Homo-oligomer: A and B are copies of this chain.
Amino acid sequence: MTTTPTHTDTPRIVTVRQNILKANDHVAAGNRTTFAQHNLRVLNLTSSPGAGKTALLERTLQDLSPSTRLAVAVGDLATENDAARLRRHGVQAEQIVTGTVCHLDAGMVRDVLPRFDLPSLDVLLLENVGNLVCPASYDLGETARVVLLSTTEGEDKPLKYPTIFNTADVVVVTKMDLAPHVGYDRAAALDNIDRARPGVKVIEVSSRTGEGLDAWYAFVHGR
């Protein structure tokens, strides 16, 4: 049996939420216009905590910069750790501290843009807060939304978090080097991804061994 939650004040929550989302979509459209003006490719990277977003970004910066001109904005509830990790690779990385907010929104991205010299960039990578729920509802104005799924998380996650997988332009399966150690069931994972988002492109990588990164880099470049 299944219980549907009954909130005392559901109608009010929904109304406010819809207003926020409308305001967010308006700002996201502005961001999208800005990105188009500068011919800038912008990727919104989402996943659960610890799926390997920062590791994939580190490897990407190391391998593609400076021939591709990259920069990163990183969202986290607290700490500057990720931006500091990424700056070691000689690219600009700005931290967006969200406090108790469980996702980036378009306004946070708009507010960080003046720190970047957009005309000098090819690709801007937005690392969202580690969360498989909240970021699904917030368009940032990105060119493409990337959802990461690690082999250590369990193959059922696309079915358990359908909203975020259903909005993915590409699903990157990370930590492929750990697949044998965790009994990863590749067929089940791919099937569940396809059920959540039929036909979506899947790229399987290991940021540690380099497996599959060529396909990921082609996506970063929009090829």
Contacts and interface: CB of A to CB of B under 8 A. Distances in A.
Interface string A9-37: 10011001001100100000000000000
A90 interface: no
Contacts of A96: 2-3, 5
A107 interface: yes
A29 to B, nearest CB: 15
Contacts of A9: 16, 19-20, 23
B5 A159 contact: no
A101 interface: yes
Contact of A49 (B76, B78, B80, B132): B132
A130 interface: yes
A79 interface: yes
A97 interface: yes
Interface residues of A, number: 61
Interface in A107-149: 107-108, 111-112, 115, 129-134, 137
Contacts of A102: 102, 131, 133-134
A63 to B, nearest CB: 20
- Select the residue from A94, A156, A162 with max chain B CB neighbours within 10 A: A156
B132 A1 contact: no
A94 B2 CA distance: 7
Contact of A130 (B76, B129, B132): B132
A157 B7 contact: no
- Please give me the 5 A-B residue pairs with the lowest Cβ-Cβ distance, nearest first: A50-B153, A102-B133, A48-B49, A152-B152, A5-B108
Interface of A: 1-9, 12-13, 16, 19-20, 23, 48-50, 76-81, 94-102, 105, 107-108, 111-112, 115, 129-134, 137, 150, 152-154, 156-157, 159-163, 175, 178, 181-182
Given A7-B105, A49-B157, A133-B134, 20 more contacts: A2-B96, A4-B99, A5-B96, A5-B98, A5-B99, A6-B111, A8-B23, A9-B19, A48-B50, A49-B132, A76-B160, A77-B160, A78-B160, A79-B159, A81-B160, A102-B131, A102-B133, A129-B133, A131-B133, A178-B178
